[in-house]
Amino acid sequence: MNSKQSSISKEASISGVGLHSGEQVNLTVAPAPINHGIVFQRIDLESEPKVPALVDYVVDTSRGTVLEKDGAKVQTTEHILSAVGALQIDNLLIKIDGPEIPILDGSAIEFINLLEKAGIEEQNALRNYFNVTEAIQINNEDHSVELAALPLDDYRLTVMVDYKSKVISSQHAQLHNLKDYKEYIAPCRTFVFVHELEALHQAGLIKGGDLSNAVVIAEEAVSDEKLQELATLLGKDKIEIGESGIVNKEPLKFKNEPARHKLLDLIGDLVLVGRPLKAHILAARPGHAANVDLAKAIKKAIAASDKAAPTFDPNAEPVFDVNGIAQLLPHRYPFQLVDKVVSLDGTSVVGIKNITMNEPQFTGHFPDNPVMPGVLQVEAIAQTGGVLVLTSTGEPEAYWPYLVGIDKCRFFKNVLPGDTLVMKCTLLAPIRLGVAKMHGEAWVGDKMVCSVDMTARLVRK
């Protein structure tokens, strides 16, 4: 899995009809900066409103995943988001001049080709993974639908579908490596049963649907009269039942193509969490509603973890060790107060300070009762934030970082020799005109010892 964020190198476009709206839509993917995220833009509407690809904006999951913000709606987002997720693209602007993402051939392969044509480009910021540390589960009342995110230091998906059908038996699909997505998952098309078509048509849906963009499945023998009705519904002169109850003349791409397509949808819907995941996703009979429920549950777990003490793996290679920090910050002994940086993602940073008895402040600060001075705790937090601010410039050696404001500073517990101070700084707003506003915290174990809001200014040397 990629360690750094990525976008695309240049714009690329594609056109097609929306599956449900039937409207012709032009879609353009465009590069976006670090920490921009995936955002849709309705360029056909006044003021060209933007709709972030986040689960917060899901308004419908009945026959696809629909997003809406401030009256701007984007339908059938799951296939392009699946391609985005599989290619590990973090920052992208998707411009469309209609209400729905084009269905194309009903799979994600053309979106994969479009994004690869635009060129995947690594960016100078770490991906902000959410590591699932405890099982996150959702299910419906009768447990006929069950999804779970389980701890795993990787991203893996396993899907099972069972439609009680003679044509589609119980099927499984799995993806253990995102590099296999293009060949084994992306070409798998959406599907629909013959008995669903009439109701969908009467509901004003599938106006753009035909045999070129969906697998149509007949569970039982269909009369000539019904076949003609079906042909009219799908805009064809004539259709015949294909192999194994598949109406399309083209056979299935894989025997378990429906299960693979459900896995494709699941990847796309989980992009709506807003952060890349490290987890094993298990899904029994998933659909868009359940996928979105799991995405919401994961996002709730993320919110809870953001309020908890930062965690780090002492065995993992740091982002910056003490020597790397010395190359970024101007501080030197005895005033270099960060020993290593263990996380850095463009909006937040986590640093470590080991408190030892032989540090110079303990000579005169309560020598018989050594307590780390509060001002040095704040300084250590500020230096951690300095790493975040400097690295965001792309040329950290060109700036001096100055702490120019402290607000809402509180100390909750003494910090003593032998403690490990874990410090986290998060940007409160994008850095503008060299001014960065951050919230900083310091923890010892699971206890917060200091909290402070800070303002820093970058001054060019």
Q: How far apart are CA 176 and CA 154, in angstroms?
A: 9
Pairing mode, if any, of strands 191-193 and 215-217? parallel
Amino acid at 164: K
Q: How far apart are CA 296 and CA 281, in angstroms?
A: 14
Q: How far apart are CA 207 and CA 366, in angstroms?
A: 77
Is 288 known to be catalytic?
Answer: yes
Q: Based on the number of CB atoms within 10 Å of its own CB, is 21 exposed (0-12), middle (13-18) or buried (19 or more)?
A: buried
Which SS3 state, helix, strand or coil, does residue 268 take?
A: helix
Prior bond to 334 cis, omega within 30?
yes
* Contact between residue 36 and residue 93 where contact means Cβ atoms under 8 Å apart: yes
Instruction: Report which secondary-structure segment, H or E, holds 227.
Output: helix 224-233
Catalytic residue among 20, 79, 288, 439: 288
Q: Is the dihedral of CA 206, 209, 215, 221 positive or negative?
A: positive
Q: From residue 210, give the alpha-carbon distance in Å to each of 205, 214, 229, 232.
A: 12, 7, 13, 10
Q: How far apart are CA 391 and CA 368, in angstroms?
A: 40
Catalytic residue among 172, 201, 331, 365: 365
DSSP-derived secondary structure for 108-165: SHHHHHHHHHH-EEEEEEE---EE--S-EEEE-TTSSSEEEEE--SSEEEEEEE----
DSSP letter, residue 202: H
Q: How far apart are CA 263 and CA 249, in angstroms?
A: 24
Q: How far apart are CA 342 and CA 312, in angstroms?
A: 7
**Residue 347 token pair:** 């909006």
Q: What is the 3-class SS of 373-434, one letter each residue?
A: CHHHHHHHHHHHHHHHHHHCCCCHHHEEEEEEEEEEEEECCCCCCCCEEEEEEEECCCCECC
Which SS3 state, helix, strand or coil, does residue 63 take?
A: coil
Q: Rounded to the nearest 10 degrees, how much is the dihedral formed by the CA atoms of 398, 401, 404, 407?
A: 140
CB atoms within 10 A of CB 357: 9
Is 365 known to be catalytic?
Answer: yes
Helices (H), 286-402: 288-306, 322-328, 361-364, 374-391
Instruction: Just list the catalytic residues.
Output: 288, 365
